[in-house]
Structure 1
Amino acid sequence: MVCWVAQVMVMTSPYQVVLTEADRAVLEAQVRAATSPQRVVLRAVIVLLAADGQPNAAIADELGICTDTARKWRARFCQRGLAGLADAPRTGRRPIYTPAHKARVTAWACQLPAEHDLPLSRWSTRELADQLRSDGIEASLSTVRRWLADDAIKPWQYQSWIFMRDPDFETKAARVLDLYDRRYQGEPLGPDDFVISADEKPSIQARRRCHDTLPAAPGRGLRVNNDYTRGGALTYLAAYDVHRATVFGRCAQSTGIAAFTELVDQVMTQEPYASAERVFWIVDNGSSHRGQAAIDRLAARYPNAIMIHTPVHASWLNQVEVFFSIIQRKVLTPNNFENLKALEQRLLTFEKRYNTTAQPFAWRYTTDDLRKHLARLDDHEKARQAA
């Protein structure tokens, strides 16, 4: 009798995976990460099992994949390391659009629709796609949006701007900036000199919401009812001591010379301003403190007070506007007040709270910055005229 002995031959891979501690740490982190794509996790597990001595067939059986998949990623890792587990670059489908097509949408976006007799104030993505279609270019909204994003062009947005009309803009602006730097007419301010920035915030409405505002909750922000009844409006006047970071405010029914004079009286009748050497009042060109008449009126009432006007259309130089922006963000938005009395109480209470912790604003715009800015504007205007 002849006995046959069956021999089982186990195929061993020519690629033996040996992991460094760093590589193993990276692969295990990929497996544990909840955000890892499934294909990344699979490749990492294949390599980890291979490093533990598992043959390709056993890996395939354990993971429910074909042997060729296990063989492929084992070989890719042995040949190129961790970089071999990434997707290989693909040539992909040839692009449908040419650079000329993209340049076309950029050219349209950088022109005003009215220049081409189109009844539009500004472009939207859809309007641009429609315009391209009329030019014989079929491009989807997402394609047009992607092209504009590549060039950081958003023609549907707009920003207001204004020409400087004050012939003495630089002189007036430099005077204000020097005062912020504690200088006046080339001389440093003394310890008994103070700088006050003052203005009004008019027409602040008291809007009574038809339903109570709901506080924030887990997974939900503050909720403010859209319906409201109007409870009237008032004006908030404020004087801000630039270097002492102190606000003096009051509310009035409207703006005007009388209301502004009451604010001046509120400040100038208390120390240290009543006995100060000089108190500089920086104001814009609003009707309640405009022109030489306002300068003379202040000087006659308080001989140690000097009114300094910002240039026309340069209220941004007035530091009290920074405080008003804080008021708008922290007190008035969202607007929900029972009546004008509640609104006034909130404004004045916030003012007291602000004064307990306030620090002077970190004002960094100097006269040197102003001169550089004006020089750039001059160069731009000369280039525009030359073109």
Structure 2
Amino acid sequence: MNVLKDISLSAVAAGFVAVLIGFASSVAIVFQAADMAGASEALKVSWIMALGLGMGATCFFLSMWYKSPVITAWSTPGAALLATSLTGASYAEAIGLFIFAGGLMLLLGISGLFDRLMRWIPLPVACAMLVGVLFNFGVAIFTSLETDPLIVAVMIVAYLACKVVLPRYAVIMVLIAGVVMVLLQPHAAFSGIPLSIGSMSFVAPEWNTSLILGVGVPLFIVTLTSQNIPGVAVMRASKYETPVSNIISWTGVTTVLLAPFGGFAFNLAAITAAICSGEECHKDPSKRYIAGLSAGVFYALAGLAGATVVGLFAVFPKTMIAALAGIALLGTISANLKAAFDEERYREPALITFLTTVSGVSFFGVASAFWGICFGLTVLLIQNLKKS
């Protein structure tokens, strides 16, 4: 099998790091959303299992089908929106709006509108938006260094040393260095982690029109602008011409099917996808799909583990996770900075896109990544009108 020939330690590790960062960086927000929806402890475990299995299936099968690293994720901005917007809603009504938002994403995908939308966005502008999304992760290396100097300093030294000796495995060594440092900490409570397999609980939806319009539509928009558009930018920046409308359709289908179990929103990943699509994953772009398969397996295992995963991620300090994410993304940030500002005719639109995105501004509940693209394209349009 070609898959067996294409497997590499660096690609498998990239998939693992993507799952580690994806879960550890935002699982707390997911639980806040579940609490706001009125989920019991059993239902929270169902959320983790549904999300893990959904991401695992989409990562694995889409990466295998398209032979490219297709990385999906739950909608972190969507979870943040739910954590602040579900006051007064019943759990069944929350399930109804999850299904509605997933259905909108499915319609967007099968209509082909998403593909056409992405063709209107020049690569430098998309790269500038991506750098804006990733910028704070790079900065977090040094804010984490200030907060937890010993662990983060060791991770940085491991990275710099491996870039000279074993550049392909630099991120792996950073992960190992971080884990070893955590194990050496006297307060690391690994012994208290529960060992159990999760279970899924079905809840039939109820339909509340005002809730669907007030929360369901914003959930769809936030997921589209904050997750799917940056996710496509990652794929295009890495020269993958995967048909994104098909992928968007599958994430919509997955959301509709798993929403009754707590799978509130699935979408293309951006930050974790960048880890799996860069040179640190594999020098040969045609073999980076292994990272997608790897992420799929690890996501599924994480979903099955349920409470065990939550306990495990609670042991790792936030500073270690933040530094690991930032270091893993250094190559991607650098490459996209170059692509964004390399061509003079796109330089100013790209700069406006970058500054808007990194500012974190939000208008009408829509995230800065969307407005970065809008403002950048507006500047580009004005420039073209001036020339003509």
Bin for the TM-score computed over the shorter chain? under 0.3
* Structure richer in helix, relative to its length: 2
What TM-score do the two structures reach when normalised by structure 2? Answer: 0.17
1 or 2 for the larger relative contact order (CA 8 Å, sep ≥6)? Answer: 2
Q: Which one has a bigger Cα radius of gyration?
A: 1
What TM-score do the two structures reach when normalised by structure 1? Answer: 0.17
* Structure richer in strand, relative to its length: 1
